[in-house]
A and B are shown apart, each in its own frame.
Chain A
Amino acid sequence: MLSTFYVIRSFWLWLPLFTEPAAAKLPVCQGATAVYADTTIVIRALAGLQYEQTRIVVKPKTRFRIVLENADDMSHNLVVTRPNSRMKVVEAALKMGTEGARKNYVPNLPEVLANIPLLEPDHTDTLTLTLDEGAYPFVCTYPGHGYVMYGVIHATREPKRLPSVEADPYVPKRTGAGDHSAHQMASPHPYKMTFPALYRTFMPECGPAAIAVGLPADAAVGQQSYCWDAGSCRLRYVWTGGFVDSYGHWEGNGNRLTKVVGDIYYNDRSGFPFRIGNTTPVPQFRGYELVNRYPKFMYSLGGIQVTELIKAVPGKRGLVRQFTLSAGKQPVTFLLDQQEGVQYQTRINNVVASAKNGRLLLPAGTRQFTVTMLVP
């Protein structure tokens, strides 16, 4: 679970999707467990009622310091309890009533060994502690949080004898934050996944109004999927090898992006492809219709209504994009994204029509055209 967060964090760092990547303040990490050579341990409270670090290993009878950084948008505290006392402390905090807020929801119990008071967002505080051998829960006792927002400090001389993080009974289990291979076997919905399938979701390298579409698999090339941007009304990229993994996005607060499953083989670099006369129109997305589950996107370019339906090229890596246009008085140009290794076949009103210098000229009144893109 810890390692997953690190993976995601570094993902942000090398792929600058966020203009302000969260500062990387990572403790020493060995595999899935943080083992602290240092005596200062940084624990971050994150969105989704969780501590970023859920298992900490320290030496017994050695003084250490915990720094709690509240990186969430709600308040949290951190209470270290005697072994096996987490729920007792959590329940007692819940019963504090109005007292609670004044006392940081820290009940006056011998089971409470140390605490960091309730921190507002962006605040930091510390505690120092020395523990004998044992497993000491730490927990946020803000009402309701303690059922899911906790972790454990193992004070042990033999860290190698600890169970794996996955098997550690003191570590919260979060579905979706770990290995998703099991999930991908089963459908994440109360029905079988049927392709074509569509998700409106947060996709990487796309505007925030993204649409991911998984097409039916093909014996020769496997499954092809694409990402279509409902903000800028255009195809963004295409991949083979699967559809998407949305678990990371669904779990927690939705901060994590949906992941592409497979390999992107085409990424559009030319921007919006339509020109009306000499101008680049500003498209307006109007939705989609499902035709045998294939989305037929609808958008308008000024007065011209466009539909776009995308299918896989049978047996080959590539897509067929079928467009229709409503009647217009001006000629329309469709720009083909000229990239090495990308081949196009184009048809206007069902008749082969070739593009010149990557420009497919659609005479005024053109009602239908097709762009087949092959990326062998």
Chain B
Amino acid sequence: MLLTLLVSTLLAVAAPADTLTDYYTVETIPTPEGLIVETGGIAFMPDGRLVACFHRGEVMMYNPKTRKWSLFAEGLHDPLGVLPVSNNEVLVIQRPELTRIKDVNGDGVADRYETVTDQFGMSGNYHEFAFGPVKDAKGNLYFSLNTASNGAGIREEIRGQYDSLGRQGRMYACVPYRGWVMQLSPDGKLTPWASGFRSPNGIGFDAKGRLMVTDNQGDWLGTSKLYVVEKGKFYGHPASLVWREGFPDIDPLTLTPEQLDSMRTREVVAFPHQRMAHSPTQMVADLTGGKFGPYAGQLFVGEMDFPRLVRVMFDEVDGELQGACVPFMDKVGLRPGNNRLVFAPDGSLWVGQNDHGWVGARGLQRIVYQQGIPLDVMAMHLTATGFDLTFSQPLDEAAARQLANYAFRRFYYKYHRAYGSPEMDSQPVPVTEVKLSADKRTVSLALSELKKGYVYELTLGKLRSADGKKKVANQLVCYTLNRLKSSATATVHTKP
């Protein structure tokens, strides 16, 4: 009896030696000698080979079975995305165009490079990258176009129409569709789809097929963001507005931040600078049906500057998407520079790295799920009075019921012309009540106050699994609260 008490006390005090590496391993894929592994795009061919494109223009194939690399295409200009069409054909985006690359004669090496579209401008500014393409269920392709940087000028000869009104500002769009997401329909019609992007180096879909883009902290972006992209919408970086149909002949920067604020569509998830991400990249939805562990249906986002990924959990509030992010695989063997992500047919997550003139690393790694379920936050839902947190496992009741194990802080990022933003109006938000569900997996937290337009940063304390063997894998969760539940004001003081 005494012994049992002693043991359980010891268990309660000692932190379990439980780490994410018990569940996931990171492997480094050997790459050919002489290859500068600045990865621009990775994907799997229908036959299971990896196709990857690199900064110096190579498109290479890697057979995971034989572990052999072979060259498929070469000479491209900074290819930053690849999409397989068939076992001998891929689409690649490079600075000047979207290109269809085919091996027609069947010798394994491409011999035909067809311009699919080059109907966008190039000022010659180094920052005018092109990202994508990704394909929706209807066969439409999407790609995104970076704005130019006033860290450098433009070339004497440019491609496309020049508009000096788009030349103002730190990141600019003096040629068509810089700062836009473009749609190319299966019949070849190119449509400027959505505007207001700065550096959209991440384009993809969530598990429900919603088009998503990440954008990078900078001017007009207080922090890095994840957007749901819909036709015709403007997402906040003003330069691209000059290419919007019907936009008046003015420099968009003459609009006030308040005017621009009222025009823009907010991010669904903000990635708090430094704590979560500096430079988010491509996103990929976990559609492995459990082959990659317990996070099926969630979104993983790459991060350039830190050795980790970011995991996104969505929440739908009155039909509008918002959500939370959590670090994933932080400092457990993954390098920084995680530019491109793709799930292999076996459910492992491949990560192509890049350090192209920024912080990062070079190379190719893959994350392999081993077994077991880490103790982790699986969902975060806004309630009328706070948040419901659902965990992957039943929680130790005593720890779960302690208010001190949930430290909330809220702040917002300023929408303004300056580069980045400090955390504004940062305040701790006391948790007033904790309830634990009958299955001990969901914690309902009531907060002293909920305010829209803020990021709610939650730092979890020493939560453990009910059996005491597992500690919570990630203690930081950041929820972007754009919208309160419409019932919130009505029910906040009403108890059932």
Contact = CB atoms under 8 A, between A and B. Distances in A.
Interface in B89-146: 94-97, 99-100, 110-115, 118, 122-124, 126-127
Contacts of A97: 274-275
Contacts of A143: 274, 278, 305-306, 359
A289 B112 contact: yes
A222 interface: no
A14 interface: no
B163 to A, nearest CB: 14
A21 B111 CA distance: 39
A247 to B, nearest CB: 10
A74 B170 CA distance: 10
A202 B124 contact: yes
Nearest to A119: B419
Contacts of A19: 153-156
A19 B174 CA distance: 13
Interface stretch (B32-40, B310-318, B399-407): B32-40
A253 B356 contact: yes
B353 to A, nearest CB: 13
B55 interface: yes
Contacts of B153: 18-22
Contacts of B423: 98, 101
B57 interface: yes
A255 interface: yes
Contacts of A231: 96, 122, 157, 159
Contact of A255 (B111, B112, B126): B126
B126 A287 contact: no
Contacts of B36: 188, 250
Interface stretch (A125-133, A157-165, A190-198, A367-375): A190-198
A47 B151 contact: yes
A74 B199 CA distance: 12
A199 B113 CA distance: 13
Interface centre among B34, B97, B111, B152 (most CB of A within 10 A): B152
Contacts of B99: 287
A189 B274 contact: no
A75 B419 contact: yes
A121 B122 CA distance: 23
B94 A200 contact: yes
Interface in A272-292: 285-290
B56 A144 contact: no
Interface centre among A16, A71, A144, A252 (most CB of B within 10 A): A144
A79 B278 CA distance: 21
A106 B33 CA distance: 39
B76 to A, nearest CB: 6
B123 A208 contact: yes
A172 to B, nearest CB: 14
A34 interface: no
A256 to B, nearest CB: 8
Contacts of A101: 273-274, 422-423
Interface stretch (B67-75, B287-295, B370-378, B433-441): B67-75
Contacts of A254: 78, 126, 357
Contacts of A352: none
A52 interface: no
Interface string A244-263: 00100011111100000000
A189 B96 contact: no
A252 B155 contact: no
Contacts of A122: 150, 170
Interface in B412-448: 418-420, 422-423
B149 interface: yes
Interface string B267-283: 00000011100100000
Nearest to B118: A285
A87 interface: no
Given A16-B156, A207-B158, A230 B96 contact: yes
Interface string B320-348: 00000000000000001000000000000
B58 interface: yes
A97 B150 CA distance: 30
A207 B159 CA distance: 7
B151 A121 contact: yes
A-B complex: 4 closest residue pairs judged by Cβ atoms: A144-B359, A20-B153, A200-B77, A209-B96
Interface of B: 31-36, 55-58, 60, 69, 71, 74-78, 94-97, 99-100, 110-115, 118, 122-124, 126-127, 149-159, 170-171, 218, 273-275, 278, 305-306, 336, 356-359, 418-420, 422-423
20 contacts: A18-B156, A71-B151, A74-B218, A74-B358, A74-B419, A100-B274, A120-B420, A190-B31, A190-B60, A191-B34, A199-B77, A200-B76, A200-B94, A231-B157, A251-B357, A255-B152, A285-B97, A285-B118, A287-B112, A289-B113
Given A48-B357, A120-B419, A200-B94, 6 more contacts: A17-B156, A190-B35, A209-B159, A231-B122, A250-B55, A286-B115
